[in-house]
Amino acid sequence: QVQLVESGGGVVQPGGSLRLSCAASGFSFSGYGMHWVRQAPGMGLEWLTFLTQDGSYKEDADSVKGRFTVSRDNSKNTLYLQMTGLTVEDTAVYYCMTQVAVGYWGQGTLVTVSS
């Protein structure tokens, strides 16, 4: 069955960095664009970034431009999110998702930015 499994979350100090991974299985990962979405505690969903199937084109939300970088390794069926310059406002559950019309979501990984 289709699975998206995020990992790499944890507690990090302000100004720190973290790399999230999203491992895909049960579908043709290399055939789909992928998104990262986050949800701060008690808040709604915030779209962050999108990467095309082959990794050649991406789009970023203003809130993460210059700080977060999305990438993928289709040979490993894995999507990544490199996060730098983290602030307390980046505390959230981070989800990966396939292109919207396909709509597979991972279960999320919690990132806590705290001193």
Partner 1 sequence: EIVLTQSPGTLSLSPGERATLSCRASQSVSGSQLAWHQQKPGQAPRLLIYGASNRATGIPDRFSGSGSGTDFALTISRLEPEDFAVYYCQQYDRAPYSFGQGTKVEI
Residues shown for the chain: 115
| CA–CA gap between residue 77 and residue 42 (Å, rounded) | 31
Is 13 strand, coil or helix?
A: coil
Looking at the Cβ atoms of 63 and 77, the one nearer to partner 1 is 63
Looking at the Cβ atoms of 61 and 82, the one nearer to partner 1 is 61
Sign of the C-alpha dihedral, residues 87, 92, 96, 97? negative
User: With CB under 8 A as the contact rule, which of the stretches 15-23, 42-50, 72-80, 82-90 interacts with partner 1?
Assistant: 42-50
- Interaction of residue 50 with partner 1, rule CB under 8 A: yes
| CA–CA gap between residue 27 and residue 99 (Å, rounded) | 13
Binding mask 62-101 for partner 1 (x = CB under 8 A): x--------------------------------x---xxx
- Residue 60 CB, nearest approach to partner 1 (Å): 8
- Interaction of residue 45 with partner 1, rule CB under 8 A: yes
User: Which of 29, 38, 110 minimizes the C-alpha distance to 75?
Assistant: 29
- Residue 15 CB, nearest approach to partner 1 (Å): 25
Is 45 strand, coil or helix?
A: strand
Residues lying near partner 1 in the complex (CB under 8 A): 35, 37, 44-47, 50, 59-62, 95, 99-108
